[in-house]
Amino acid sequence: MGTGTILEVRGLEKHFGGLYALSGLDMEVRSGEIVSVIGPNGAGKSTLFNVVTGIYEPDAGDIRYEGVSIVGLRPHQVVKLGIARTFQSVRLFANMTILENAMVGQHCRSRGGVFGAILRTPGVRAEEERIRERAREALGFFGKRLSGYRLEQPAFSLSYANRRRLEMARALATDPKLLLLDEPTAGMNPRETLELRDHIVRMRDELGVTVIVIEHDMRVVKGVSDRVIACDYGQKIAEGTYEEVAHDERVIEAYLGTKAAG
Amino acid sequence: MARRWLRIGIPAGIVTIFLALVGLIGGFTDVYLIGDQISFAGLMLVLPAFVAGLVAAAPRVEGGERHEMRISEAAVAAAVAGAAAGATFALAAVLADWIGDERIRTVFLNVTPALMEFVTFGLATAIGALAVVAVSALAGVLGGVLRVAPASIRRPVTAAVIATLLFGFLQRVIPIALDQLSLERDWLYSPQFDGLTWIGALVVATVAAGISVLSTRFGTRLRGRLAGVTGVGGPMISPARVIAGVVALALLIAAPLLLGSVISEVLGTVMVFALLGIGLNIVVGYAGLLDLGYVFFFALGAYSLALLTGATLNAFGIPPEPVISGSLNFYVAIPIVMAIAAAAGVLVGAPVLRLRGDYLALVTLGLGEMVTVLVGSPWLVPLVGGPSGMRGITDAAIGGLAFRDPQRFYYLALAFVGLAAFVSWRLAASRIGRAWTAMREDEQTADAMGISTTRFKLLAFSIGGAIGSLGGALFAVKIGSLTPASFQVLVSIQVLGLVILGGMGSIPGVIVGALVLVGLPGLLREFEEYRFLAYGAAVVAIMVLRPQGLVPNVRRSRELQDEERAQDEWAKAAEEGETPPEIAPANGATT
């Protein structure tokens, strides 16, 4: 686990018409950290993820990943560099099996082409076996919940919590160095939420993945974060440990409104 | 209640009127299915009433519960629905008689005195009308009773009826095969009326019913045993599928020998369309890109093969010299044609990459239409001959063995279909197929998971295009000459139709689709002019009744079953007052 900066965001701006989703956001994430991004609805958290992963192109500012700018790259190129993500609204390939969903994650780490696929060369067969193995391993991260008989079941047959887990497993199957989790516990019951909290820590400790997590559940934020970044109106308004940020006046104001307004 | 039955019956009557007006009844009074009693026209007359009976006896769903009808209830409901259908039609017949058929004929050409006589059973109009109502009610009752009959009766009866009708329809095909095998045929097909004899029909029906009973009784056990012995029969391949596959393959190989050259001609066309279907299936079925301009690749393959193999312009006053000197052998030209088509696939694909769904369909439709216009335009006369086209296309000979003969051509085409099916199957089962599936499911997420959607869309267009061009090249060999008339937008629609009918993403489905949509109308020449009516009806029926297609993709149908099973478990668990399994798995949640 290195200690260098893995992700550096400088003066990031993204507008949708007149709406400033991001207006000059700065942040830095060091390798091996778990950083939580919090903020009220509409603070620009998901937009941040969408810009970092190449779904949107920023209007201004720079994003450096391992010291190299990744602005303007397409999403699939960003994944290949080692940044994987999950979505706030779970987005699985519903009619593919659970194993296949995870195997899609390995796509960017494999290269079998048309002729290899048609002739099924030994190289392609070995690669396919490796993809399958790696996908099983990623699913195995969540214990028995996504393995065994479930491997061959279509993703739509999963419960809500398992869909979220599968989405994370699929992201882990891309062999990421940096993982962006967008509200991973949304819609989970308290017990599942606590279980997931442990999983996030394990992703860092056992897999060595740096994690940025957008989260509303403060128990999770408190439990996992090395550092918390609070945003509002597309800008960073506070940064520090959970305790520091939780007692920051601007953060309280952003969540509860000013005293005069309240 | 009665209103519901009328709501079913009256539209069925209107369907019968429609069938009569388009000529499907009047034109077929002497096409006999069984003996000289049951004709195709007669079938058309009572079929809508029969279907109305089936529908009227369907279980009702009230408050989320299914109510199966008792037989007596079903018979009454179906009789009313059938009679309503008959009455609607009879009313139209009486009305037509009152107005006078010669006056109606100025608008509806098919309302002939023969039709009028047929639909009133040759009786006076009023009595005939009553007879129509009675016969329709009877047909309805048959449909209704069949619907509510227990499966042990319903299945064999359905099998018997379908088999008998199929044998009746194939009256131009099966007798030829029997002749080729030097088997006696007169007991099965009447030499006088062409259709089945009554004895023949009885034998066919009995055999079909027998097979149905046996397969229900022993099928499951046999399946289990076969799976145990051969190891075949995992979740992917059931032994029934393997057996069906082997039988189908044997039939495909033996067909031209059994059926002679006239039918082989039709089967050759079927194979060309199967090839087109396999290609389009990659674009539409695997990658989920709705392409309505597939005729582009068909034309490209045909014309580029013609040019490469030294075809000449089909025009007066021009000496028959190859357009391009230095003609190639067919087998050398084919890879070049495919390479050109693959490159063209990228060119066509590039501008439409950002379009989805309806927009993609519209743009590709336009691209396809451009091809028809281009090959017929004066501008390209020096290259492809314009409206008069080209001739003198290679017959794909190997040594002295030419392939223009329908039976030989069939085997050439079958070989290419086999090759294309193999390629398509291997691709679907690979990393590439997985990327296509992911892209079809959710394009943006696929991109965010590392799949270059641009690359895989272009790949689909290009491989689909290459296979389509192969279809075009074979078509050119088969016909020996080309005119723009063969490359209309209808080709795109036909190919899409057969892919949908067979089941998107399924290769056996494509072949079945081609046999049904291209083969059947070709075998029954009388139906040629109703081909597109049947197309439309078939596609609508499939989309409503069986959207996964006739022979669905194995994986998808398995998913559907799994979903049902999962729901069953869920419902059962909920009934027993337990927490459904998904929320609290048996292996225990570890917190």
B25 or A199, greater pLDDT: A199
**What is the distance between the alpha carbons of residues A237 and A249, in angstroms, rounded to a whole number?**
10
Question: How many angstroms separate the CA of residue B463 from the nearest CA in chain A?
Answer: 9
Which chain B residues are Cβ-neighbours of A130 within 8 angstroms? Answer: none
Look at A85 and B441 and tell me if their CB atoms are within 8 Å: no
Q: Do B437 and A127 touch (CB under 8 A)?
A: no
Helices (H), chain A: 45-52, 75-81, 98-105, 114-119, 122-140, 160-172, 190-207, 218-224, 242-246, 249-256
- DSSP lists the bridge partners of residue A68 as A65
What number of other Cβ atoms are within 10 A of residue A247's Cβ? Answer: 11
Q: Is the pLDDT of residue B582 over 70?
A: no
pTM exceeding the 0.80 threshold for the entire prediction:
yes
Chain B CB contacts of A74 below 8 Å? 447, 452
Instruction: Return the pLDDT at A86.
Output: 96
Count H helices and E strands in chain B, helices first. 23, 7
**pLDDT value at A262 more than 50:** no
Supply the pLDDT for residue A3: 65
**Inter-chain contact A91–B559, Cβ cutoff 8 Å?**
no
Identify all chain A residues contacting B427, using CB atoms and an 8 Å cutoff.
Answer: 114, 117-118
* Residues ≥6 apart with Cβ < 8 Å to B407: B256, B257, B261, B264
Residue B412 to residue B397: CA distance in whole angstroms: 10
Q: A236 falls in which pLDDT band (50, 70, 90)?
A: very high
At residue B586, the pLDDT reads: 37
Range in B63-77, B140-154, B335-349, B477-491 the model is least confident about: B63-77
* Mean pLDDT over the full length of chain B: 85
Q: How far apart are CA B375 and CA B389, in angstroms?
A: 8
Q: Give the pLDDT mean for B139-153.
A: 91
Shortest CA distance from B444: residue in chain A? A55
Tokens 């001609």 belong to residue? B265
pLDDT reading at B439 higher than 80: yes
More confident residue, B580 or A21: A21
Residues 203-262 of B with CB under 8 A from A: 235
Contact yes or no for A55 and B459 at CB 8 A: no
- The predicted pLDDT at position A45 comes to 93
Give residue B84's pLDDT. 94
Report, as an integer, the average pLDDT of B202-231: 76
Whole-number Å distance between alpha carbons of B86 and B427: 53
* Distance, CA of B300 to CA of B311 (rounded, Å): 15
Taking the CA of residue B282 and the nearest CA in chain A, the distance in Å comes to 13
> A191 to chain B: nearest residue by CA?
B591
| Average pLDDT, rounded, for chain A | 92
Q: Which residues contact A251 (CB under 8 A, 6 or more apart)?
A: A38, A230, A237, A238, A245
**How close does chain B come to A251, measured CA to CA in Å?**
32
Whether the predicted pLDDT of B563 surpasses 70:
no
Say if CB A75 and CB A53 are below 8 A apart.
yes
The C-alpha atoms of residue B532 and residue A24 are separated, in whole angstroms, by: 61
Supply the pLDDT for residue B65.
77
Q: CA B370 to CA B229: how far, in whole Å? A: 56
Q: Which of A103-112, A237-246, B261-270, B397-406 has the lowest mean pLDDT?
A: B397-406
Q: What is the pLDDT of residues B308-352, one digit of tens each?
A: 998 888 876 666 777 777 788 999 999 999 999 999 999 888 888
Nearest CA in chain B to A55: B448
B431 to chain A, any CB pair closer than 8 A? The answer is: yes
Distance in Å from the first CA to the final CA of chain B: 56
* Closest residue in A to B582 (Cα–Cα): A159
Name which residue leads in pLDDT, B260 or A9: A9
pLDDT of residue B554 exceeding 90: no
Cα B483 off chain centre by = 26
- The amino acid present at B341, given as its one-letter code, is A
Region at A176 (left for phi over 0; alpha for psi -120 to 50; beta for the rest):
beta
- B432 with A114: Cβ contact below 8 A: yes
Q: Decide if B439 touches A, using CB distance below 8 A.
A: no
* B105/chain A closest Cα distance in angstroms: 54
Residue from the list A107, A128, A162 with its beta carbon closest to the beta carbon of B435: A107
Lowest mean pLDDT among A102-111, B42-51, B230-239, B451-460: B230-239
The Cα–Cα gap between B216 and B156 comes to: 9
Query: Cα separation of B261 and B266, whole Å?
Result: 9
Q: Which of A110, A119, A159 sits opposite B583 (nearest CB)?
A: A159
Between the CA atoms of B403, B409, B414 and B415, what dihedral angle is there, to the nearest 10 degrees? 0
Provide the β-strand partners of residue A60. A13
pLDDT tens-place string over residues A89-120: 999 999 999 999 999 999 999 998 999 999 99
The CA distance from B573 to the nearest CA of chain A, in Å, is 15
Among chain A residues, the shortest Cα distance to B419 is held by: A118
Q: Return the pLDDT at B326.
A: 72
Q: Shortest CB distance from B430 goes to which of A76, A108, A112?
A: A112
Answer yes or no: is pLDDT of B572 > 70. Answer: no
Mean pLDDT, residues B393-421 taken together: 91
pLDDT at position B225? 62
Asked whether the predicted pLDDT for residue B234 surpasses 60, the reply is no
Contact residues, chain B, for A107 at CB < 8 Å: 431, 434-435, 438, 449-451
Nearest CA distance, B560 vs chain A (angstrom): 9
Q: Is the pLDDT of residue B558 over 60?
A: no
Q: Which of B430, B432, B448 sits opposite A85 (nearest CB)?
A: B448
d(C-alpha B329, C-alpha B395), whole Å? 10
Give me the pLDDT at residue B580, please.
42
**Considering only B48-52, B146-150, B181-185, which range has the smallest mean pLDDT?**
B181-185
